[in-house]
Copies of this chain bind each other. A is one copy, B any other.
C-alpha cells in the first residue's frame, strides 16, 4: 500500500459510537472519567507532558504532586508500604512475577484468574499451577486449595512456588474470594501472595495489609476512572527492594519500571479522579445493594445469576434462558439481543451472546439500572409470541 491521501483519510479523528450509551460492560463501568479527569486529559494530553516537571525520577515530581500521590496517598489507599504507578494491572503483575520468580519457577493462581495473569506468568517463564474452583453454579474457591496446590508444586519441583496470585474478584463471576485465608495458607509455606485487584481497587474498600497480601495490583482504566493504560502496584516493605530495585547502569531508575511508566495524561487523569475515587469506594455498600437489586429483577425474568449468592460485587454473570430461546427462533438469532439493546442505547453485552453473559452495575445508579432491566423485560415481551 501507499500512504497517500486516500489511504490516510480513514485515520484522523474518528467518532466513538458507544459514547453516551448506557454501558454495562464490566471493562467500562469503572473507567469512565470524572469531570476533573476530563479536564486533566485536555490539559495534559500532549506527548509526555509531565516530563516538563521531572528532575529524573517520575515519582519524585513535587509539582504536580506525583510524589505525594505515589508515596503518601497510594500506599494509604492500597494498604501497603510502597506503591508505584505502572502502565496497567498486567504490567504490575509481570513486574512482580519477573522480580520474585526466575524462569522455571512456579506460580500458583486461582482457576478463575484473568488470562493476563497466565500470560504475564508465561512471559516471566513461570510454570503455572491453578487452584481449581468448585464449578457451576457458585465457582467457589476453597482457600485450602492453595495449600494443596503448593504441596503439589513442592512434590513436583522440590521447592515451593515463587508466588501465589488470587483474583479479587475474578472477571467472570465477580466472586470475592476469602483472600485473607488464602494469604494465611500461602504464608504457612512462606509463599508471597499477589492480590489482583483490577476489579477491586477504586471500586471497593481493600487493604493489602488487612488481607495479608504482599503485593496488590490495581487498574486505572478499569476501576479508577483514569484514561488508560495505567495501573498501580503496591508492595510490602519486605519485597519493595526486590521489585523496585535500581538499575546498575543508572542509579535512580527502577529496572522493572524500565525507568519510567505513565508520564502524561494517564497519570494525570488517575490523580485527577483520585479524590472522587476515594469517595466512591466509601459508597461500596450502596453499589452492592444496587447490584443485588438488579440481579433480583433479572431473576424475576427467569434469569439465573451464577457465582456467589448473595453477591458482593457489581460484576455478575447471568444465564438467560429467555433470551436464548428467542435466539433459537429468530433469524440471525444470536445477534438479536445486541441489536435490540443497541436500539435502546444500551451497550456492553458482547454481540452474539444470549444464553450466558456478564455485566456490571457499577456507578450506574438505580435509574439507569432500571432502564436496563426494563429493556430486558421489554425485549422478552416483544418476542413472546415468536
Q: Please name all residues of chain B whose beta carbon is closer than 8 Å to the beta carbon of A68 when the two chains form the complex.
A: 10
Determine whether the beta carbon of B275 is less than 8 Å from that of A12: yes
Residue of B nearest to A248 (CB): B122
Q: Please name all residues of chain B whose beta carbon is closer than 8 Å to the beta carbon of A185 when the two chains form the complex.
A: none
Q: Please name all residues of chain B whose beta carbon is closer than 8 Å to the beta carbon of A278 when the two chains form the complex.
A: 3, 8
Which of A34-42, A139-147, A155-163 is found at the contact surface with chain B?
A34-42
Determine whether the beta carbon of A46 is less than 8 Å from that of B122: no
Check if A44 is an interface residue, CB within 8 A of chain B.
yes
Within 8 A of B (CB), among A244-262: 247-250, 253, 255-256, 258-259, 261-262
Q: Please name all residues of chain B whose beta carbon is closer than 8 Å to the beta carbon of A37 when the two chains form the complex.
A: 45
* With known contacts A122-B249, A226-B47, A258–B16 Cβ distance under 8 A: no
A348 to B77, CA, bound (A): 34
Q: Please name all residues of chain B whose beta carbon is closer than 8 Å to the beta carbon of A269 when the two chains form the complex.
A: 45
A222 to B264, CA, bound (A): 11
Check if A72 is an interface residue, CB within 8 A of chain B.
yes
Q: Please name all residues of chain B whose beta carbon is closer than 8 Å to the beta carbon of A136 when the two chains form the complex.
A: none
Q: Please name all residues of chain B whose beta carbon is closer than 8 Å to the beta carbon of A76 when the two chains form the complex.
A: 1-3
A49 to B348, CA, bound (A): 11
Residue of B nearest to A226 (CB): B47
Check if A234 is an interface residue, CB within 8 A of chain B.
no
Which of A86-94, A164-172, A292-300, A306-314 is found at the contact surface with chain B?
A86-94
* With known contacts A11-B69, A42-B42, A275-B9, A49–B16 Cβ distance under 8 A: yes
A94 to B249, CA, bound (A): 16
* With known contacts A46-B32, A47-B226, A275-B8, A347–B52 Cβ distance under 8 A: yes
Determine whether the beta carbon of A116 is less than 8 Å from that of B73: no
Contact with A33, one of B14, B16, B45 (Cβ below 8 angstroms):
B45
Which of A17-25, A328-336, A369-377 is found at the contact surface with chain B?
A17-25
Check if A118 is an interface residue, CB within 8 A of chain B.
yes
Q: Please name all residues of chain B whose beta carbon is closer than 8 Å to the beta carbon of A45 when the two chains form the complex.
A: 33, 37-38, 41, 227, 269
Determine whether the beta carbon of A28 is less than 8 Å from that of B11: no
Check if A228 is an interface residue, CB within 8 A of chain B.
yes
A183 to B88, CA, bound (A): 35
A118 to B227, CA, bound (A): 29
Contact with A48, one of B65, B229, B258, B272 (Cβ below 8 angstroms):
B229
Listed A/B pairs (9) with beta-carbon separation below 8 Å? A11-B65, A17-B52, A27-B47, A41-B41, A102-B103, A103-B103, A118-B247, A123-B256, A228-B265
